[in-house]
Amino acid sequence: DSVLKRDDPEIYAAMTGELGRQRDEIELIASENIVSPAVLAAQGSVLTNKYAEGYPGRRYYGGCEQVDIAERLAIDRAKALFGCDFANVQPHSGSQANQGAFMALVRPGDTVMGLSLAAGGHLTHGAAPNQSGKWFDAVQYGVRREDSLVDFDALSDLAEQHRPKLIIAGGSAYPRIFDFARFREIADNVGAYLMVDMAHFAGLVAGGVHPSPFPHAHIVTTTTHKTLRGPRGGMILTNDEAIAKKVNSAIFPGLQGGPLMHVVAAKAVAFGEALQPSFRAYAQSVKDNAELLASVLLDAGLDIVSGGTDTHVVLVDLRPKGLTGKLAEETLGRANITCNKNGVPFDPEKPTITSGIRLGSPAATTRGFGKAEFAQVGNLIAEVLDGASRHGEENGAAEASVREKVKALCQRFPIYPEL
């Protein structure tokens, strides 16, 4: 740290500022978390210097003995964590994991089906502006108007009609459990592969509080940095040997060059942490805290998409308070509560405005917030939003009052005291 301060004061200042932000704000972005000092140490290590194209024991560069150990540990721990036979831990991100799965299983022009962005899906599941929507014949399924759950009848009809090669289950703003068995049945009916993108809920699966996509999925992709609480990155899992071979070729040399070995090592560290009994308790708290937050916000007069949550995600529909997602994100941000605006199903507002905010419990749970703190967080959110309902953009009084309470709460649960 002191080296960085001396050699690059500008970056040092930005990093210090970011550490302060993370310390003093309640992080409710559902896709974020707070990694352990051990994960940080692996990621900021000399392993960044090493080229290691290929896989352990089969590299195109010399000097890979130590990074082979790190990658083998990451693979073995991933397999143990998710109870599967194969893991590729090299994807640089969740998007590249998905690209790798596509490259392994389908060809440009093939039909793929994913949950639409508007219903909580991810860009890489066939959205028009994404490569997955441009290079494939992407058909998007949605959710039911009455309960915001996946519309399996419509999904099944669409599958019959379009005969996709690949069906994707998973999303970024879907608060409920995907019925993997039902997805597999529909995929089998039309001879499609089932891919589960568990990026959001991987940590809940690892912690045993969410059903596993196995044995239903042919292939599973994930990020490693959300509920799983590892470094920013991706991973692909399967139990099928033929698919495994194709995945390895797709990631290298298909899509990537040298793996980020410092990140691979940090993945190994995070997986090791997730294998500990304490991670099961963490995952249970993440789920309990999200459920509690949803119920406090419901009581405060907000709508919760699907009526609640089975996961770490709470999707709030702000329309009962007459607010947009944009305004809510901004006013909460000024009160040191960080979240993101998010469309709700059948949202009348544009994606840059939206009628909702997406909240998530993983980061605040990591810093130690339990049910009492999440109840308080729910009330603080309601205080800010009620103020905004009355005063619009001029919500300074509520923002200032809540900001002080947020700072006091954060001080009771410090993060990275050693930094």
What residues between 368 and 407 interact with ligand PLP by CB under 6 A? none
Residue 54 to residue 288: CA distance in whole angstroms: 41
Q: Residue 229: which region, alpha, beta or left (left: phi > 0; alpha: psi -120 to 50)? A: left
262 is in an annotated binding site: no
Binding-residue pattern over the window 225 to 264 for ligand PLP, x denoting contact by CB under 6 A: ---------x------------------------------
Catalytic residue among 59, 165, 176, 232: 232
- 93 sits near ligand PLP (criterion: CB under 6 A): yes
Helix (H) or strand (E) holding 219: strand 219-223
134: annotated active-site residue = no
- 358 sits near ligand PLP (criterion: CB under 6 A): no
223: annotated active-site residue = yes
- 170 sits near ligand PLP (criterion: CB under 6 A): yes
- 200 sits near ligand PLP (criterion: CB under 6 A): yes
226: annotated active-site residue = yes
403: annotated active-site residue = no
Q: Which range of residues in 49-57, 136-144, 151-159, 195-203 is near ligand PLP by CB under 6 A?
A: 195-203
Among 54, 164, 171, 272, binds ligand PLP (CB under 6 A): 171
Q: Which range of residues in 3-11, 90-98, 241-249, 343-351 is near ligand PLP by CB under 6 A?
A: 90-98
- 120 sits near ligand PLP (criterion: CB under 6 A): no
> DSSP state, 267?
H
Catalytic residue among 221, 222, 223, 354: 223
- 32 sits near ligand PLP (criterion: CB under 6 A): no
319: annotated active-site residue = no
Q: How far is the CB of 49 from ligand PLP (least distance, A)?
A: 23
Residue nearest to ligand PLP according to CB distances in the complex:
94
What residues between 280 and 339 interact with ligand PLP by CB under 6 A? none
Q: Which range of residues in 194-202, 280-288, 363-371, 378-386 is near ligand PLP by CB under 6 A?
A: 194-202
Catalytic residue among 16, 23, 24, 51: 51
- 124 sits near ligand PLP (criterion: CB under 6 A): yes
> DSSP state, 85?
S
3-state secondary structure the chain: CHHHHHHCHHHHHHHHHHHHHHHHCEECCCCCCCCCHHHHHHHCCHHHHCCCCEECCEECCCCCHHHHHHHHHHHHHHHHHHCCCEEECCCCCHHHHHHHHHHHHCCCCCEEEEECHHHCCCHHHCCCCCHHHHCCEEEEECECCCCCCECHHHHHHHHHHHCCCEEEECCCCCCCCCCHHHHHHHHHHHCCEEEEECCCCHHHHHCCCCCCCCCCCCEEEEECCCCCCCCCCEEEEECCHHHHHHHHHHHHHHHCCCCCHHHHHHHHHHHHHHCCHHHHHHHHHHHHHHHHHHHHHHHCCCEEHHHCCCCCEEEEECHHHCCCHHHHHHHHHHCCEECEEECCCCCCCCCCCCCEEEEECHHHHHCCCCHHHHHHHHHHHHHHHHHHHHHCCCCHHHHHHHHHHHHHHHHHCCCCCCC
Among 50, 77, 122, 367, binds ligand PLP (CB under 6 A): 122
> DSSP state, 316?
E
User: Locate tokens 């790190």: which residue?
Assistant: 70
Catalytic residue among 23, 24, 53, 110: 53
Q: How far is the CB of 326 from ligand PLP (least distance, A)?
A: 19
Q: How far is the CB of 200 from ligand PLP (least distance, A)?
A: 5
241 is in an annotated binding site: yes
Q: How far is the CB of 206 from ligand PLP (least distance, A)?
A: 16
123 is in an annotated binding site: yes
122 is in an annotated binding site: yes
Which residues are part of a known binding site for (6S)-5,6,7,8-tetrahydrofolate? 117, 121-123, 241
Per CB under 6 A, residues contacting ligand PLP are: 31, 93-95, 98, 122, 124, 170-172, 197, 199-200, 223, 234
Active site residues: 51, 53, 197, 223, 226, 232
